[in-house]
Amino acid sequence: MDNNLFNKFRQLIYEVSGIHLSDQKKALVVGRLSKRIHTLGINDFKDYYEYVINDKSGQEIIKLIDYISTNVTHFFRESDHFDFLKEKLIEWKEEGQTKFRIWSAACSTGEEPYTIAITAMEALNSTFVDLKILATDISTRVLEQCKKGEYYAHKVDNIPGYLLQKYFEKKKVNNDWVYVVSDRIKKLITFSRLNLIEAPYPMKGPFDVIFCRNVMIYFDEKVRNTLVNEMYRLLKPKGYLFVGHSESITSTQTGFRIVKPSVYYKP
């Protein structure tokens, strides 16, 4: 793939997903798209580019974004966020709140929304609450994984043993142990495809808490500002936004107030 063709792919990916690829990402693009080209039996990257832009169904561009998207996550990642979430849920419950809405905005392969659900169940410890979690991602491939809720043993290493026993079922698949999220956790979560650059977002809100972690690092400032403004609009007053530990929204013109690094509050 020459630089001219890489730039065409890069522009297409940005226009469709908001993902900004630097010059250094060329090898990543080549490596990941090679798999798709091989699957389709297409000869080279130029022919694949033409295939994508001429696909009237729009399905191939979704496949392209699926292959480019980075899906690095694990259960209880950046665990202090879940400690904070648990404290707030207990506090709101003690104040008499019975309805809770939480959004995982870039849910990847599902570890984040399932961790949110487990944390909420432990905090609320009651069947007399209305708890719903929305989990969205641009990738249809990872959303299918999410819905299955199946994880190999090495994927659940970060889950405390008593929670693993309480909220997962263990089964053997092809001589490997697989942990399956229990139905009582699954039923709390709605998985849906969402492209974060396509504002305004279709959901009504308001949400008590929004997780949008480790995704803004892939966007330029224009897209980040759009995203954060939408998060602010959909969050309830006195609600919280969590971003990744390496991320900050201090440069955006919103009404968010910082609580501590990576945790923001809507007055």
Going through the chain in order, the beta strands assigned E by DSSP cover 99-104, 130-137, 150-152, 168-173, 176-181, 189-193, 207-211, 235-242, 257-260, 263-265
Which is the catalytic residue, given 101, 137, 208, 224?
A: 137
Q: How many residues in the chain?
A: 267
What's the one-letter identity of residue 253?
Q
The rounded distance, in Å, linking the Cα atoms of 173 and 151 is: 11
CA distances from 76 to 92, 113, 159 (A): 22, 10, 7
The rounded distance, in Å, linking the Cα atoms of 71 and 182 is: 23
Angle at 192 between CA 188 and CA 193, to 5 degrees: 160
Please, are residues 155 and 168 in contact by the beta-carbon 8 Å criterion?
no
Active site residue 32: yes
Classify strands 130-137 and 99-104 as parallel, antiparallel or unpaired. parallel
Chain-centroid distance of CA 10 in Å reads 22
The rounded distance, in Å, linking the Cα atoms of 21 and 39 is: 24
Active site residue 47: no
As annotated, the active-site residues are 32, 137
